[in-house]
Amino acid sequence: MSDTTAHAAGHGDDATTRRDFLLYATSSVGAIGVGLSVWPLVDSMNPAADVRALASTEVDLSPIQVGQTITVVWRGKPVFIRHRTADEIKAAGAVNPEDLVDPQLDAVRAAKPEWLIVVGVCTHLGCVPLGYAPSQPKGDFGGWFCPCHGSHYDTSGRIRKGPAPKNLAVPPIVFNGTTVKIG
């Protein structure tokens, strides 16, 4: 562009400098303007205010029996709430975090040891792992098994075997008597 304009104007250095300055100033303001005006279009595809506002779910824990897992929906995703047995708690606590793909202590993941609450989405490619119903396989480590690509999770929802890179996510939770608020 500056080649053509230089040829068109072509009156000595002063004029060239002034024009170049104007060209750069205009192009910069224009580029910033275009950038700023594209942002609203992009941002409109982010979660909207009403979606963000529905971010918490409250669950009554009292009917869940020891050894039972229930599935609730939080932000459109399944969340597993498992009332763990003493054996499961013991198995989860006995693991040395150093040996894990994604090292985490069970005590950190389950503040109240009998309740394990994890997002039921495999950290590999987003399938829902099996193990939430009695008839389903729980994998080699007694937790969950993802049938899509064979990831095995333990009784603390940690990845033990298979392609998944991370443990099942623990959502933000607040216990309040016999209920828990997720999110």
Partner 1 sequence: MTPAPVWKNPIVRWIDYRLPVFSFIHHQLVDYPTPRNLSYWWNFGSLSGIVLVIMVMTGIVLAMSYTPHVDHAFDSVERIMRDVNYGWLIRYVHMNGASAFFVCVYIHLFRGLYYGSYKAPREILWIVGIVILLTMMATAFMGYVLPWGQMSFWAATVITNLFSAIPLIGEPIVAWLWGGFSIDNPTLNRFFALHYLLPFVILGLVFVHLWALHIHKSNNPVGVETKSAREEIPFHPYYTIKDLFGLGVLLFFFLCFVFFAPNMFVEPDNYIPANPLVTPAHIVPEWYLMPFYAILRAITFDIWFIPAKLIGVIAMFSSIVILMLLPWLDTSPVRSARYRPIYKQVYWIFFADCLVLGYIGASPPEGWYIPIGQIATAYYFGHFLIVMPLLGIFERPLPVPESITAAMGMPKEAGR
Partner 2 sequence: MIRFGLVLAAALGLGVTLSAEASEAPKAPAQAWPFNGPLGTYDRNDLRRGLTVYRNVCASCHSLHLVSYRHLAGVGFTEEEIKTIAAAVEVEDGPNDQGEKFSRAGRPADRFKSPFANPQAARAANNGAFPPDLSVITKARKGGPDYLYGLLTGYKNPPAGFKVLEGMNYNEYFPGHQIAMPAPLNEGGVEYPDGTKSTVQQMAHDVTTFLSWASEPEMEERKRMGLKVLMVIFVLTALLYGLKRQIWAALH
Q: Give whichever of 37 and 96 is closer to partner 2, judged by the CB atom.
A: 37
Which residue among the candidates 11, 83, 124, 149 is catalytic per the annotation? Answer: 149
149 is catalytic: yes
Task: Note the residues at the interface with partner 2 (CB under 8 A).
Answer: 5, 8-11, 15, 18-19, 22-23, 25-26, 29-30, 32-33, 36, 49-50, 53-54
**Residue 46 interaction partner, one of partner 2, partner 1, none, beta carbon < 5-8 Å per kind:** partner 1
Give dist(CA 17, CA 48) in Å, integer.
48
Residues 6+ apart with CB under 8 A from 109: 116, 118, 156, 157, 158, 167, 170
* Least distance from partner 2 to the Cβ atom of residue 43, Å: 13
> Where do the H-state alpha helices sit in 44-182?
49-53, 86-93, 106-109
* Least distance from partner 2 to the Cβ atom of residue 30, Å: 6
Task: Note the residues at the interface with partner 1 (CB under 8 A).
Answer: 1, 4-5, 8, 30, 39-41, 43-46, 48-51
The full DSSP string for 57-90 is EEEE-TTPPTT-EEEEEETTEEEEEEE--HHHHH
Q: What are phi and psi of 138, to 5 degrees?
A: -105, 5
Q: Give whichever of 9 and 66 is closer to partner 1, judged by the CB atom.
A: 9
* Least distance from partner 1 to the Cβ atom of residue 111, Å: 33
* Distance between start and end Cα atoms, the chain: 54
**Residue 45 interaction partner, one of partner 1, partner 2, none, beta carbon < 5-8 Å per kind:** partner 1
Q: Return the active site residues.
A: 149
